[in-house]
């Protein structure tokens, strides 16, 4: 059973069947075994949870199997289990391993945290479908994740807690987009393209000239550019390692590719013709390209321009702001 959590973070009005098709296609591309089922849920809002629980109990009963919740760190495994424990009739197991009363509505009991390793072993949380147990497991720490390099405060900033504001920016040749001080995207060659960022609102987006990008990143780390919170933390992350990508546009009505910044978010690339893109990330973290998750999400709704101090949309509304002052933002442009 595959569960895609945190669907509440996707933009409003998404076509859920299209997202399901995308998830299944990515599973095939990763050569995963055939799925018994796929559920799109939000452990935070409860969306999709009743259907998931009914399917899970039915499968555990019919096959007489225990169930284990597996997933990457920060995927929301413990939050999903807490929702089951809080909202569903379960036969709960307390810390001593003794079963609670059947039909008891259990209060959340699993610790949730942005830090990997909060769940230290297999934790028996409940009995569903008769005598069969539901287990929480330690989060899988993926080797290519930027999040493994961040502090607790930085993790809290980059892991979204609510639906963010996607921002679309037009970059020309020789222009760059800084993602706080954590990463950079350059348009090296080609016609102008649109870059739509799907990131936590706490991550500052700052367009600048490629020739000045390294200087701006160092000068404004912890101020205009966050995270990280300081120049010392920027230096601890080390030099950025560059990766070249070639993008073949599909026209202005459809994104051509998602460039994934592992553990941070992704940027959808839209345009006509070809362009050469360079992505810079801390050493040991590599960008991933994939078929767009939201290929037809209109960039017109998220288009923004940089005024020298902030990003604003066509209505003059601020889309994202960084730390620091207006004066320092203008100096770094």
φ, ψ of residue 231 in degrees (nearest 5): -65, -35
pTM of the full structure: 0.84
Tell me the pLDDT band of 116, cut-offs 50, 70 and 90.
low
**314 against 2, higher pLDDT:** 2
DSSP reduced 3-state for 257: strand
Asked if 146 contacts 263 with a C-beta cutoff of 8 angstroms, the reply is yes
Q: What is the mean pLDDT of residues 235-241?
A: 95
Distance CA 83, CA 247 (A): 41
Q: Place 148 in a pLDDT band, splitting at 50, 70 and 90.
A: confident
Predicted confidence at residue 117, as pLDDT, reads 53
Tokens 């209505």 correspond to what residue? 315
The answer to whether the beta carbons of residues 106 and 92 sit under 8 Å apart is: yes
User: CA distances (Å), 235 to each of 217, 289, 327, in order?
Assistant: 11, 27, 24
Residue 131's pLDDT band, with cuts at 50, 70 and 90, is confident
Q: Can you give the pLDDT at residue 244?
A: 98
Average pLDDT of span 81-110:
55
pLDDT attached to residue 89: 54
pLDDT of 119: 55
Q: What per-residue confidence (pLDDT) applies to 203?
A: 94
Positive or negative: CA dihedral 319, 324, 326, 331: negative
* H or E, element range at 185: strand 183-190
- pLDDT exceeds 70 at position 66: yes
Mean pLDDT, the chain, integer: 84
Nearest to 207 by CA among 320, 325, 327: 320
CA gap 1, 195 in Å, rounded: 34
Selection from 137-141, 160-164, 174-178 with the highest mean pLDDT: 174-178
Regarding predicted confidence, which is higher, 244 or 107? 244
Comparing 31-40, 105-114, 163-172, 303-312, the range with the smallest average pLDDT is: 105-114
Query: Sorting pLDDT into bands at 50, 70 and 90, what band is 322?
Result: very low
Percent of the chain with pLDDT over 90: 59
Q: Are 203 and 228 in contact (CB under 8 A)?
A: no
Q: Out of 80-94, 119-133, 172-186, 247-261, which region has the weakest mean confidence (pLDDT)?
A: 80-94
The DSSP bridge partners found for residue 140 are 72
A 10 A CB-CB count for 229 gives 18
Return d(Cα 205, Cα 198) in angstroms, integer: 11
Q: Does 137 score more than 90 pLDDT? A: no
Helices 49-63 and 77-87, interaxial angle, to 10°? 90
Judged by DSSP in three states, 83 sits in: helix
Q: What is the mean pLDDT of residues 229-254?
A: 96
């Amino acid at each position: 059973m595959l569960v895609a959590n945190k669907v509440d973070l996707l933009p409003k009005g998404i076509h859920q069947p299209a997202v399901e098709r995308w998830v299944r296609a990515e599973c095939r591309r990763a050569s995963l075994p055939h799925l018994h089922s796929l559920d799109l849920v939000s452990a935070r809002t409860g969306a999709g949870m009743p259907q998931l629980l009914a399917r899970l109990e039915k499968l555990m009963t019919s096959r007489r199997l225990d169930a284990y919740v597996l997933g990457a760190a920060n995927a929301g495994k413990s939050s999903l289990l807490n929702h089951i424990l809080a909202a569903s009739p379960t036969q709960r197991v307390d810390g001593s391993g003794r079963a609670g009363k059947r039909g008891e509505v259990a209060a959340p009991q699993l610790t949730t945290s942005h830090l990997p390793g909060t769940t230290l072993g297999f934790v028996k949380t409940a009995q569903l479908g008769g005598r069969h147990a539901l287990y929480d497991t330690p989060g899988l720490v993926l080797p290519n994740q930027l999040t493994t390099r961040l502090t607790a405060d930085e993790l809290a900033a980059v892991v979204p807690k609510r639906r963010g504001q996607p921002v679309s920016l037009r970059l020309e040749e020789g222009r760059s987009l800084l993602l706080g001080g954590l990463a950079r995207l350059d348009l090296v060659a080609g016609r102008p393209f649109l870059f739509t960022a799907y990131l936590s609102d706490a991550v500052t987006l700052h367009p600048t000239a490629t020739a000045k990008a390294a200087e701006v990143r160092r000068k404004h780390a912890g101020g205009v550019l966050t995270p990280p919170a300081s120049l010392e933390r920027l230096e601890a992350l080390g030099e950025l390692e560059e990766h070249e990508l070639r993008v073949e546009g599909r026209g202005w009505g459809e994104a051509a590719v998602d460039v994934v910044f592992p553990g941070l978010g992704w940027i959808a690339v839209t345009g006509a013709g070809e362009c050469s893109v360079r992505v810079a990330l801390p050493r040991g973290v590599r960008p991933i390209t994939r078929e767009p998750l939201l290929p037809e999400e209109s960039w017109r709704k998220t288009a923004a321009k940089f005024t020298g101090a902030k990003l604003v949309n066509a209505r003059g509304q601020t889309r994202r702001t960084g730390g620091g002052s207006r004066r320092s933002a203008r100096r770094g442009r």
